[in-house]
Amino acid sequence: MRLWAESKDGDRWLQHKNEDLWLVDKNPKLKSERVYVAEQFGAYTHTFRPQTGVRQFSERTVTLRNKTDKKLKVSLDYLSFEDGNLRWRSAPDFEIPPKATVEVRDKEDLLLRAQAIKFKAVSPEFTFQAHWTTPLWIVDAVEGRRVYRGSKIGNYLHTLEPLE
C-alpha cells in the first residue's frame, strides 16, 4: 500500500508516499512470494513516531484570514523544497469565505509549506495583489540562510483587511 501522513507539529511521514509498503513479507518457503498461510487474515499495524525536541525548519505553513465581508478567490505560488531543490510551485486556486480563515493546502492536500509566497485575492469589487509580483518572505534570512529552530513547524498568518 501507499501511506503518508502529517501532523500539526510539522512532522511528515512520506517514505511510503511514492514507494510500496509491503504488508506481507517474502516467504522463502514459497519461492519468496509475498504470501502467508493462516486460518484467518492477519492484521498489520503501522506506528507513526513523532519527532521530539528542537529541530531546524526552513519553511512555515501558511494561513490566510479574510476579514472582508466578500468571498475571495485566491491564486497562490510558493517557494518550497521538493526533492532537495528549492523551486516555485503553484497551489490549486481556492476560496476564502467572508470573515473566515483558511489553512492553505498543496495539490496533494497536505498543509502548504513555504519560504516565500506570491498571491492575489480577488472579489468582484476589489483585488489584493501587492504580493503577486513581489514575494512575501515568510522565513527570515539569518546570516544568509532561511532557517529557524523550533519544536514544531511555524505558521505564517496573513490577514486581508477590508478596504477603508
Instruction: Write the pLDDT tens digit of every residue in 3-14.
Output: 988 887 778 888
Check if the beta carbon of residue 121 is closer than 8 Å to that of residue 79: no
- pLDDT tier at 84, thresholds 50, 70, 90: confident
Q: Are residues 71 and 125 in the same domain?
A: yes
Q: Are residues 29 and 94 in the same domain?
A: no
Q: Are residues 109 and 38 in the same domain?
A: no
| Overall number of domains in the chain | 2
Instruction: Write the pLDDT tens digit of every residue in 107-150.
Output: 989 999 999 999 999 999 999 999 999 999 999 998 889 999 98
Which of 11, 102, 92 lies closest to 51, judged by CA?
11
Which of 64, 70, 62 lies closest to 162, judged by CA?
70
Q: Are residues 63 and 7 in the same domain?
A: no
Torsions phi, psi of 162, nearest 5?
A: -65, 145
Spatial distance between the Cα atoms of 61 and 78, rounded to a whole number of angstroms: 11
Q: Which amino acid is at 69?
A: D
Q: Are residues 14 and 94 in the same domain?
A: no
Domain around 11 = 1-52
C-alpha cell at 53: 525536541
Q: Are residues 46 and 60 in the same domain?
A: no
